[in-house]
Amino acid sequence: MVTEEVVVRLDGIRKEYGETAALDGVSLEIRAGEAVAVMGPSGCGKSTLLSMIAGLDRPTAGTVLVAGRELGGLSEKELALHRRQKIGMIFQFFNLIDDLSALDNVALSAQLTGTPARQARRRALELLDELGIAARRNAYPAVLSGGERQRVAVARALMNRPALLLADEPTGALDSRAGEQVMDLLLDLNQIGQTLLLVTHDERLAQRCASRLVTMGDGRVSGEQKLERVP
Ligand code: ADP
Ligand code: MG
């Protein structure tokens, strides 16, 4: 059954930055179709956890399995390709490229995996349309609202049909209305099967979007609970 498939398995992850242990023995499993929210105080290791899963950085100890690949066994080049093909990421401050239009920001992530430009632009436009911002396709990030920027970022993250969508405080820089729209978008995506790992400070976002809550403290998982989604 598709829903039994393991998308992420972290085993005994430790990550040291100099003297600091940002992660101190984290094990976590995420199955296809789940929406997992991670909460915990600032500095407890949430973003470090996402960077381990995305393969943006490597753990000091422990193993990371994502979408069927053990990341420790991949070269830097293989890791980058795996990330582009299997993982979509959205961030608090959008991380769009300022001198590319909305459409080109989205299309670029498919071009980086070798999709021809025309085909990439066609899919980018479809996604912008699905996310309700096709009319803004030629606009540059500077003239987009925060909510529009985040929707462009979501479109970009979805371009390569990722096995896993990672979101690090995706509503953290948005006003409450734009935040709710992004929240609804993430919920819709999960309901059509997108596996989601979401870091947030926003209890409401977690309650609304996530099927499971993982609580962290001091580089460790301190609790886990199933959530009944609150509409
Ligand atoms: P959170 O996302 O929960 O706020 P982080 O994962 O960003 O926490 O950080 C966890 C700890 O690791 C913090 O003490 C932070 O200062 C440290 N840290 C994170 N990234 C780095 C880095 N690149 N270099 C040095 N220390 C880092
Ligand atoms: Mg963080």
Q: How confident is the model at residue 228 (pLDDT cuts 50, 70, 90)?
A: confident
Q: Does residue 229 surpass a pLDDT of 90?
A: no
pLDDT of residue 221: 98
Give the ligand with the smallest distance to the CA of 167: 2
Domains of the chain (ranges, CATH numbers)? 6-226 (3.40.50.300)
Query: Does residue 75 have a pLDDT over 90?
Result: yes
| 215, 227 Cβ separation under 8 angstroms | no
Q: How far apart are the C-alpha atoms of 30 and 15, rounded to whole Å?
A: 20
Count Cβ atoms below 10 Å from residue 71 Cβ, excluding itself.
20
**Considering only 2-6, 41-45, 129-133, which range has the smallest mean pLDDT?**
2-6
* pLDDT tens by residue, 183-204: 899 999 999 999 999 999 988 8
The residue contributing the CA closest to ligand 1 atom 7 is: 47
Q: Nearest residue CA, atom 5 of ligand 1? A: 45
What's the token pair of residue 21?
Answer: 């242990």
Residue with tokens 């490229």: 97
Least confident of 1-10, 96-105, 127-136, 209-218: 1-10
Residue 3 pLDDT exceeds 80: no
Of the listed ligands, the closest to the CA of 45 is 1
Q: What is the pLDDT of residue 1?
A: 47
Mean pLDDT of 59-63: 98
Residue 22 CB less than 6 A away from ligand 1: yes
CA 181 – ligand 2 centroid, Å: 22
DSSP for residue 35: E
What whole-number distance in Å separates Cα of residue 88 and Cα of residue 156? 8
Per the DSSP assignment, residues forming a β-bridge with 90 are: 167
What residues does the ion ligand 2 have nearby, CB within 5 Å? 46-47
